[in-house]
Amino acid sequence: MASGALEAVSVVARGWLAAGLPARTLLDGPALAPEDPAVHAITDFRRDFPVTIDPRRSIDDALGEMIHLGVRALLVEHERRLVGLITSYDIQGEKPMQFLLSSTLGRHEELRVEHVMTPWDRLRALDWDTLESARAIDLLRVFEETGLTHLVIIESAPTQVVVRGLASRARLQRQLSHRRRISA
């Protein structure tokens, strides 16, 4: 695949909407070499159900769910529609304090997922058809170029566009480094 052919695009600029989604099993995936298919580095929602949370839940509840399930991100779902993504970085980083300082809320316990999540219209996505021909190293380059921790994977169906999966920078890096440890 030519360098630069894999590109993260705005989900809103493409007019993509996502329906609600069903709990998933836990697997980090196989060890990967840089030339291995990028699809081996994603959570494919045809195989593993996505993990979702309501935007009105507390950020502490969200972090607890992530720890319990061994994931670093949750899709945010409200009334069977995806409205955003929240990551452990959102919860444990500067976002909660920044929100508290700019709001009328006074305590950490009052913070909800919707306060620190990345809204759907600000998420970046990769197209499934393009991802199918990409290598793991191509996906890593996208993460490095964008600085993102997660990317939504979108698939076009005859009548709609759906969220097909989620790519995690940390998972990809673990899969690639696990391969290096095995080979050494």
96-127 confidence digits (pLDDT tens): 999 999 988 888 899 999 999 999 999 999 99
Mean pLDDT rounded to a whole number for the chain: 85
In degrees and rounded to multiples of 5, residue 12 shows phi and psi of -80, -40
Residue 15: pLDDT band with limits 50, 70, 90: low
- Does position 157 have pLDDT exceeding 80, yes or no? no
The reported pLDDT for the residue numbered 28 is 62
- Does position 144 have pLDDT exceeding 80, yes or no? yes
CATH number assigned to the domain with residue range 9-19+30-183, chosen from the 4 options 3.40.50.1220, 3.10.290.10, 3.10.580.10, 3.90.950.20: 3.10.580.10
The reported pLDDT for the residue numbered 14 is 55
Q: Report how far residue 32's alpha carbon sits from residue 161's, in angstroms, rounded to the nearest whole number.
A: 29
Per the CB < 8 A criterion, the answer to whether 106 and 5 are in contact is no
The reported pLDDT for the residue numbered 20 is 40
Q: Which among 90, 155, 156 has a CA at the least distance from the CA of 122?
A: 90
Residue 134: pLDDT band with limits 50, 70, 90: very high
- Does position 19 have pLDDT exceeding 50, yes or no? no
DSSP character for 14? T
* Tokens 């199918």 belong to residue: 132
Q: Which among 135, 134, 164 has a CA at the least distance from the CA of 43?
A: 164
Predicted model pTM: 0.78
